Amino acid sequence: MEPPTERPTPSSPAPWRDGPARGWDDERPAGDLRALRAHRLLVTLVTLAALGGGLLALALRPTTYHARADVLVTPLAQDDDSLLGLPLVRDLGDPIRTIQTAAAAADNRDIAQVAATRLGAPWTAERVQRTVDVAPKGQTNILEVVASASVARTAADVANTYAHSLIDTRQATLRRLADSSARAAQARLDALRSQPGGAGQQSGDAAGQQSVTAAGLEQRLVELGQVRDSGDPTMSLLQDAAVPRSAAGAPAWLVLTISTLAGLVLGAAAAITAERLARARRGRQGSAWDDGSARTVSAGTTSAGVMPAGTGSAGTVPAADTAAADGASPSPGPQASTVDTQAGVAPTVRALDGQPTGPAR
């Protein structure tokens, strides 16, 4: 029996070697740097888009200036019973509640109307109230008059006008009330002094009580005169508002810097994500290529006659079995067939030796 000749294995393209395992098993930072270099155009576009967004935000952001004037609050003591009946700031036992009460008294429509009149058209009391805010300055006994406007000079003028209107309005109110109280106290004092018989014809207790009352009325007249001449002793202008040098909000350079950094971060993240997705897609393609190559090689080996024993295919039944079926003695055919089969498989094994069976994970 003529031994079968060795058939060459079917040629197939070399399995995919440049899969995601090549270079991706290195350190992760090195792979990220390669991704940034490969997608530097994407990083640049995202950074420019973020910078453009920052410029657009600056262009659309309204320009607002804040000017601040300070008003000092000096409340009267709790046990001070002088000047009762006048709208003065008195200590309520809690500093926070005291200064909040003073802030509420300083923010009213009458003061806004006086400020609007001084500012002139088109200012109205409602517009002044929308523009000005009076609030305590931290944990201090200072009221902060804050005016907001699109022009720095206007903001300073409104804040100063309102602060001065606050002091002037309170002084005018106190003078009017002090005059009224002084007239009433003077009338009572005159009535005491003009009583028939005078203080000498009265009993000692009544005369003493009348003297105390008269002394109290005289002291009140002195205090009311001080209020009429000096104004509100509990509120005074501490500092005028200066013209603000910069608009409210973050400066332009800070907005642009943050926008650029955010664009770089987003662009780098997009580049790394795109590179990883591309590598994963190439890995799936490489796995499919390797599976197809393995099936091609397996089919070629089968067509060369290398099949498992007992399959019943033609040319694969050992010669010893054929001889036994014919009643003849065995021949050395089976050994030669085995050697030839191993010789046919060897080139296939050498062709597959060292080739990757799929992408490294």
Dmax of the chain from CA atoms? 174
* Domain residue limits, the chain: 27-62+251-297+331-361, 65-195+202-239
pTM for the full predicted model: 0.56
Q: What are the distances in angstroms from CA 20 to CA 12, 284, 358?
A: 22, 9, 10
Q: Is the dihedral of CA 341, 347, 353, 359 positive or negative?
A: negative
The position carrying tokens 């046919």 is: 344
Parallel, antiparallel, or unpaired: how do β-strands 132-136 and 235-239 relate?
Answer: unpaired
The secondary element (H helix, E strand) that includes residue 134 is strand 132-136
Length of the chain: 361
Residue 80: count other Cβ atoms within 10 Å of its Cβ.
Answer: 12
Burial of 163: CB neighbours in 10 Å, binned 0-12, 13-18, 19+: buried
Per-residue confidence in pLDDT tens, the chain, 361 aa: 455 555 544 444 444 444 444 444 445 667 778 888 888 888 899 999 998 998 888 777 778 899 999 999 999 888 777 777 788 898 888 899 999 999 999 988 999 999 999 999 999 999 999 999 999 998 899 999 999 998 999 999 999 999 999 999 999 888 888 888 888 888 888 888 887 654 445 555 666 677 778 888 888 888 888 888 878 888 999 999 999 988 877 777 888 899 899 999 998 898 888 888 888 887 777 776 666 666 665 555 555 554 444 444 444 444 444 444 444 444 444 444 444 444 454 454 444 444 444 444 3
Closest CA to 274 of 106, 35, 40: 35
Distance CA 122, CA 182 (A): 40
Residue 136's DSSP bridge partners are 143
What are residue 23's phi and psi, to 5 degrees? 90, -20
Q: Which residues are within 8 A (CB) of 315 and not within 5 positions of it... i.e. 6 or more apart?
A: 4, 305
